[in-house]
Amino acid sequence: MTGPASLIMGVGNDAAVLVASSHYRHRHYGPNHPLAIPRVSLTLDLIHAYNALTEHEFMEGRPATVAELCRFHAPDYVHALSRAEAFGHATDEDRYRHHFGNAENPWFPGVFYTPALATGSSILGAEVVLGGRRAFSPAGGMHHALPDRARGFCYFNDVVLAILRLKESGLRVLYLDLDAHHGDGVEQAFANDPNVFTLSLHMDTAYAYPFRGGTITDQGGPTGEAACLNVPLPTGTHDMEYRLVFDVVWPRVLAQFRPDVVVLQAGTDALFADPLGRLDLTTNEFLRVIGAVVRDAKRLLVVGGGGYHPLLLARCWTGVWGLLSGRSLPDEIPVEGVAALRAADWDRDEDEPYYHRYFTHRLDEPRERMVRSALLELLERLRAVHPVLHDL
């Protein structure tokens, strides 16, 4: 890249690779589904508007093979999805045994290919990381999928398969899940694995999906050695509170587990205006956390995840890419980016005072608030139950 734009935006230094595909320009999941919104494509458009992606930094995703999928998923489930795509519908048995073909995990054209592509892309991302660069697979992060069934909009668990790929090379993996929902599928997959530690900050399942697990007393570890740390957050958790918790938990987990690689699930449904989330983070705090992880992780794979507000998501993931690729992107959104965001035609919260800012600035208005006693109590209880925090 040459010319004045490169001076303003900062040239990528080949530190990172973005793995994605034009396939995500098509709408999936069918009408009325929370995921039937532009996510990866809008993110790419905004990154492009910032002139923040060189050819050398982009890699076309590839679908995972059946053999790869079957390293975690049951063959009959993999074949059921493949069959449902070929025959154009899900059967009653698919609905009953594999939990797809319903409102939560609908049948749609590409019901096999689309999640297989996200999975192959995250595996490819893992291979990029093994090659020494950071990687971002924004279509990935499908953390709820189970070996034999779809769950919570997730069909194949690309996160588990990417972690397996990293483990194959003998690496100790720290999985950090920032999605507003508990990263249960990944936690379960590695509950008995001393070489994978899962850290999830999420809405307390007392009030949020998946409505079980991930509580203060669910801290894993079959033999007393903790394999996970769950931080169930109250509704309305805001920047100051999130910062307090993250800054206590993150360095301790890192110091005690000493991972070779971090896999970060960057679902954006913890952001303040997400239609399915009930946390209250700004993009600023979310990206501060990503920045800390970029700084501290020896190797880093970032995958996507939830996020049901396309404008917040695209702004946020553009910021994630900026941090991974070593660019400092201006806060003000370039004209082409404004046009891309406007074209998303999102008017759900247009009466809110912050709405206009989605189109003009990449970051949000900072908000200073008091930390509530509920958060201090949460930290105290975590300290009491979790060996990683005993020094607190």
Of these, 158, 177, 241, 269, which contacts Zn ion (CB under 5 A)? 269
**Measured from the CB of residue 215, what is the shortest distance to Zn ion in angstroms?**
17
DSSP β-ladder status, 173-177 and 134-137: unpaired
Of these, 306, 310, 319, 322, which contacts Zn ion (CB under 5 A)? 306
Q: Which stretch binds Zn ion (CB under 5 A): 74-82, 113-121, 174-182, 310-318?
A: 174-182
Burial of 373 per CB tally in 10 Å (0-12, 13-18, 19+): exposed
**Measured from the CB of residue 242, what is the shortest distance to Zn ion in angstroms?**
15
- 22 to 59, 61, 127, 196, 211: CA distances (angstroms): 11, 9, 21, 32, 35
Torsion, CA 334, CA 339, CA 342, CA 343, rounded to 10: -140
Active site residue 144: yes
Number of residues interacting with Zn ion: please give it, by CB under 5 A: 6
Asked if 184 is part of the footprint of Zn ion (rule: CB under 5 A), the reply reads: no
Binding mask 200-229 for Zn ion (x = CB under 5 A): ------------------------------
Asked if 57 is part of the footprint of Zn ion (rule: CB under 5 A), the reply reads: no
Amino acid at site 121? S
**Measured from the CB of residue 46, what is the shortest distance to Zn ion in angstroms?**
21
Q: Which stretch binds Zn ion (CB under 5 A): 187-195, 305-313, 337-345, 348-356?
A: 305-313
Burial of 370 per CB tally in 10 Å (0-12, 13-18, 19+): exposed
Residue 34 or 387 with smaller CB distance to Zn ion: 34
Residue 34 or 221 with smaller CB distance to Zn ion: 34
Edge-to-edge, what's the strand order for the sheet holding 228-233?
58-60, 16-20, 134-137, 300-303, 261-265, 173-177, 196-203, 228-233
Residue 108 or 209 with smaller CB distance to Zn ion: 209
**Measured from the CB of residue 339, what is the shortest distance to Zn ion in angstroms?**
29
Q: Which two tokens stand for residue 236?
A: 């309305």
Burial of 101 per CB tally in 10 Å (0-12, 13-18, 19+): buried
Distance CA 213, CA 151 (A): 14
Of these, 99, 151, 181, 386, which contacts Zn ion (CB under 5 A)? 181
Q: Which of 23, 143, 144, 238 is catalytic?
A: 144
**Measured from the CB of residue 179, what is the shortest distance to Zn ion in angstroms?**
4
Query: E strand or H helix at 184, and its extent?
Result: helix 184-189
Which residues would be at the binding site for Zn ion (CB under 5 A)? 179-181, 267, 269, 306
Active site residues: 144
